[in-house]
Every structure is written in C-alpha cells, then in structure tokens.
Amino acid sequence: VAWPGLVLIQLMRTRRRLTVRTAMLVALFTAFAIGLIPAAAAELTGVPLRPPPAGAATMWVQVVALAAIPGLAAVVELHRAGGTPYPWDPPRRVTWAGPYAYVRNPMQLSMTAILLVVAAALRHWPTAVAGLTSAAVAAGMASGHERSQLTRRWGDEWRRYAEAHRSWLPTWRPRIDHPSEGADDVAVLHLDGRCATCRSIGGWLTRRDPIGLTVADANDDGRIRWRATYRRGADERSGVAAVAAALTHVHLGWAVVGWTIGLPVLSHLAQLVTDVVIVEPHPVGGTDPANR
C-alpha cells in the first residue's frame, strides 16, 4: 500500500508521467468503489454481503460498467487537459469537452451510480447508504470548497463554465464552449466526401443538428489525412475516435455511445475492426491528385 502511494505522490509532485498517474488513480477509485466501501460497510454494520448468483453476476458487471462510463470518459478528458481527477493534481485548463459538456460533476455522479448498482447487486443496504452519503457530502460541504478552489485557480473561466452547467443533473443537449480559446471556437469533423460510408456518416450527423460541430469535406484543404479527423482547438483525434467525439455534440444518448467508443482500449479495438471490415485507411486531400 505504501509503495504505490509514495510513487503516486512523487509523480504528482513533479507533474511527470501523466498517463501513469491517471491509471493509478483509476485503479484506486475502482478498488475504492467496488471493494473497500462495500467491505467496510459490511464490517461496520454487521450486515453480510450477498453476492448474486453466477448467472446474474455477468449482468451486474455490465450495469456497473455502464455506470462507470461517464466517469471514465471524464478522466480521459482531464488527461487531455493535462491533469487527473485528484484535486491536488488538476488539469491545466477548464475543459468543456466530453461529459463536462453535459454536467459539472460527472465523476461524482458516476461514483454514486456505481455504489448504488453494487449495493443492488450485493443486496446490501449499508452500501447504498454509503453511496447516498458520499453524494450528499459532495453536493454539500465538498462543493463549496471545490467552488472556491476552482474560482481562485481559473477565475472568470470557471464561473462561466459553472453558470452553463448543472452540478448533478445532466442536460439533454451539450453546452459547449472554449472560453480560453474564444466563444467562436467550433469543432470540425473532416470526412472523405468521395467515400460513400463517410458521406452517410456526415449526412446523419448534419441532420441531427450537432451543437458546436461542423462537418467538412477533407478534400477541400491541402492537408493529407488517412482517416476521419476531429479537430477542436488543440484537440485532434482521428478515425473511430474522431467519430466518437463528434457523437458527443448531438445529445446525451449518442454522447454515451461516443464516450464508450472513445475510451482508449475500446477505440483501438473498434479502429482495427473498422480498418478491416468497413473502410481501410486511405490518403485524402492534398494538392497531388495521386493522393485523392
């Protein structure tokens, strides 16, 4: 216990190995939610944990994974912004992307949902009480402390974000802005206009009136791209990850799909399948006709 804790503290202090810091914190919070809290609640109350039957265990695992998606997607966005979920290892800027376009506290919301699902799976009311208590603490004492810290750190940028998003109840449509880069900053999804699959994806997105997203033909500029490309400020993603990011501009339902597909391991697997089965990588754009 001490060794990984000391390693994590040292990495946070020096701001090195961001991916390692993030992975360690994800492992810590996962063990905390599905292991330590239920075990501690059982020990303190004397109410035993009752694992589900083998046939139902798989279903419960899937429900827990679904509850974890907003939190994991939020961790990915904090990583892109240069930080971790830990309050003393924050990102370098306010992020409006991913789950943060819909709700202010996606990780706390996800943690509460996980604890309630685990409580239902284990038929253990003390774990449910622990989940509701953690939500109450986060919504009460912790929120004031967090608000004052973030206001000092980011000032008007944070106030602007907080005014646009609710703490716990997600909006159905995203509220997307980049106050650090200008309110007119719009995401662009570059697709190959000569590819039938890409045209159908672009048409499908356009018909759903995405917020803060423009669909463009990748053949119209001088840059050569090998896959679909999503670009928003300094954030750039390609292939399946680009389409997943575009889905988050539609509404909450499709955003959950986009967050799921956009998770690091799943996006790589989905990209392999897409390259083999749907559309293989090919050069698009540029001034040389051979690249078209």
Give me 245's structure tokens.
């990011």
In contact, 60 and 67? CB cutoff 8 Å: no
Q: What is the pLDDT of residues 209-259, one digit of tens each?
A: 999 999 999 988 778 888 999 998 888 999 999 999 999 999 999 999 999
Closest CA relative to residue 265, chosen from 291, 230, 248, 241:
241
Q: What is the pLDDT of residues 247-291, one digit of tens each?
A: 999 999 999 999 999 999 999 999 999 988 888 888 887 654 544
Mean pLDDT along residues 55-63:
91
- Long-range CB contacts (< 8 A, 24+ apart) of 272-280? 274/239, 274/240, 275/239, 278/197, 279/195, 279/197, 279/198
Q: What angle do CA 126, 28, 114 make, to 5 degrees?
A: 40
pLDDT bin (cut points 50, 70, 90) of residue 141 is: low
The pLDDT of residue 280: 83
φ, ψ of residue 187 in degrees (nearest 5): -75, 150
Edge to edge, what strands does the sheet with 229-232 contain?
Answer: 213-217, 187-191, 229-232, 235-238
The pLDDT of residue 41: 94
Please state the pTM of the whole predicted model: 0.88
The pLDDT of residue 121: 95
The pLDDT of residue 125: 95
Q: What is the pLDDT of residues 109-124, one digit of tens each?
A: 999 999 999 999 999 9
In contact, 151 and 159? CB cutoff 8 Å: yes
